[in-house]
Every structure is written in C-alpha cells, then in structure tokens.
Structure 1
C-alpha cells in the first residue's frame, strides 16, 4: 500500500483531531466524565486556534448528539436515567438537583449556559430536558451554541497563553505544562469529591 501524497498529509492530523473532538463531545454528553476541553486545549497548543475552533464546533455537535441519547433516556425512564447520572464519577446529587431545577425554569437555556461554567455536567441537563418534555429539536439546537461557547473560550484562552509562551517554551514543554494543569485540575476535583 502506498503512502498518502505529501499534499494530503497536512490535512490528516487536523481531520483526526476534529473527529476525535466529535467523539469526545458525544462521550462526555453520555457517560464519560472528563470534559472535552482537555482534548480541545491540547489541539489549540499543538495545531493552533483555527483547528481548535473547528474541533470545538465538532465537540459541540457531538455533545448535542450524545445529549439526544440522554434526552431520550430522560423521556422513556426518568428515574433510571437520574440513577444512571448518580453512578457517573464526579457527578454529585447536588449537581443533579441543580441541573434538574434549572431545566424546570422558563429560561432553561441560560441555566444550561451557567451550568457549563459552574461544573454541572451537560448530561444532567440532557436527562432533565427529556424529563421536562422539551422537544428534541429545540434541545439539540440550543445545545450547540451553549456547548460551543465554553469549548471555544477554553480553546481560545489556551491558544493565547500558548502563543505568549512560544518564545520561551518549545511545543513539548507547552504540552507538558498543559498536561500538568489538567492533572492538577482533576486531582483537586477528585480530592474535593472524596472529601
């Protein structure tokens, strides 16, 4: 089998990153508990902001698709869907209660947006949307800009920091610094969770 022509090679990594972002967004919306921001920030450092923003859109669409799975579960068996949320690592009863209450409000899109920056997992909102009887199309449509806002912000901030550090640190060191941040972030989160 022959290798890809040189002109096709530059597109392979960005396309793979975008596909991975879609899959991660879908996974996080269902049962995976590590935010897509982790992958998106690595893409921002390694491949640049333009690719990271495309990946952020893919992750938001993936989240909306995964959200429909959880929405459907919330429609068909709200009690079992809520119990499933409680079994996901790092999802507390308080998070579930806050997300459920937010989706019962008239301004539920604002509750979803607020939840995306305060640590309430999107999957909680998806189950609650089904439980509350919101239409799938409306929920899907609102999800994409709500998820994209946070994903694009995370990618943009990290890309800007990476650009500032580019003269002092090579790519490998910038990636190591980012990995250290995420290890500390989840370590602190785990520590609070276990306390």
Structure 2
C-alpha cells in the first residue's frame, strides 16, 4: 500500500507540474489520514521529486519555445493570465527561489515558474535542485497539519468519517476555486 501511495504521489505531482490542475496535496492529505504521517511524508518527498521531473519538461518547453509554453499554460483550467504574468515576473528576480516559495502558498502554479525558468535561461540542474525543497516544504506542512487534525479527530471519528470530512473539504475548496475563477 505504501509503495502504491508513493508511486501515485510521484505520478500525480509530475502531471500537476505539467498540465494537470488538481494539486497533489489532495492525494497527500488522504495518505496522511489513511496511512499516517510517516507515509504522507515519504509520499511528499516522492511528490517533490515528481514535480521536479515534470518541471524539467516544462523548463525545456520554456527554453525551446517560450510562446508555446505560455499558450500551454493558458490552456490549463484555473490558470489565469494574471497568474502567468506574476509567475513569469517572479522568475526574473534575483531571489527567484523565494518567488517560487511564495507562489506555492499564494496559488500561482509551479508549472508557470518552470516555463519561466527555461525562458529566463536558468540551468536545468539548478532549477531541479531548488524545486525539491520548495515543493517539499508545502507538501510536508499540509500533510503534517492534516495528520495532526486527523489524530485529534480520531478520538471521536472513525477513519472513514475523517476521510469523508477531508473529501468534503477538498470538494468545497475546489468548488469555491471554480466559482471564483469562472466568474
């Protein structure tokens, strides 16, 4: 079960780093509730590596054909022109790793930073290396918080009920997100 969760986290995160639009945090938080914090943190590490691998694919697109990269980003659901502009601008800063970290908590998709990194001529190895701790920070925090809440709720709710509560959270989160971006 743990190996399947780790593999799924890697694949989902790779997809999210490219064209998929549902954050891997959804899967990681379910792993935290179903399998515990240790499993969720291992899956978070796999997700960070998966994001870095997907990011290199997007980096390459940004390097070879930035306009095609921007068109691809524009075609991803919930990715706005303002997000693209913000992410692109962040990668022109001297402290671009901080811009990536800010983006991970303010809703600017990582895939934008990846295209921008290629466009700005950052080396692939440097971008790959910075990606892992930047992505892992958010994943570890999310899974740790959910695991702690799940432990607290475990005294009153079964695992199934905690999983249902988490599913409700994610449905409301994406429902609100969809309503906000479709308006």
* Range class of TM-score, shorter chain: over 0.9
SS at match of 2:69: helix
User: Residues 56-95 of structure 1 correspond to what in structure 2 (within 5 A)?
Assistant: 56-95=44-83
- The residue that corresponds to 1:121 in the other structure is 109
Q: Distance in 2 between matches of 1:91 and 1:72?
A: 20
User: Residues 74-153 of structure 1 correspond to what in structure 2 (within 5 A)?
Assistant: 74-153=62-141
SS at match of 1:70: helix
RMSD, matched Cα: 0.3
Following TM superposition, by how much is the alpha carbon of 1:90 offset from its aligned partner in structure 2, in angstroms? 0.3
User: Residue 54 of structure 1 is aligned with which of 18, 28, 42?
Assistant: 42
Following TM superposition, by how much is the alpha carbon of 1:112 offset from its aligned partner in structure 2, in angstroms? 0.1
- The residue that corresponds to 1:173 in the other structure is 161
Following TM superposition, by how much is the alpha carbon of 1:165 offset from its aligned partner in structure 2, in angstroms? 0.2
Deviation per CA, 1:8-43: give whole Å up to 9, x if none: xxxxx0010000000011000000000000000000
SS at match of 2:61: helix
TM-score normalized with structure 2 length? 1.00
Q: Which has the larger radius of gyration?
A: 1
TM-score normalized with structure 1 length? 0.94
Deviation per CA, 1:136-187: give whole Å up to 9, x if none: 0000000000000000000000000000000100010000000000000000
- The residue that corresponds to 2:176 in the other structure is 188
Count of aligned positions:
183
Alignment gaps of 5+ in structure 2: none
Deviation per CA, 1:40-83: give whole Å up to 9, x if none: 00000000000000000000000000000000000000001101
Q: Distance in 1 between matches of 2:34 and 2:92?
A: 40
Following TM superposition, by how much is the alpha carbon of 1:105 offset from its aligned partner in structure 2, in angstroms? 0.4
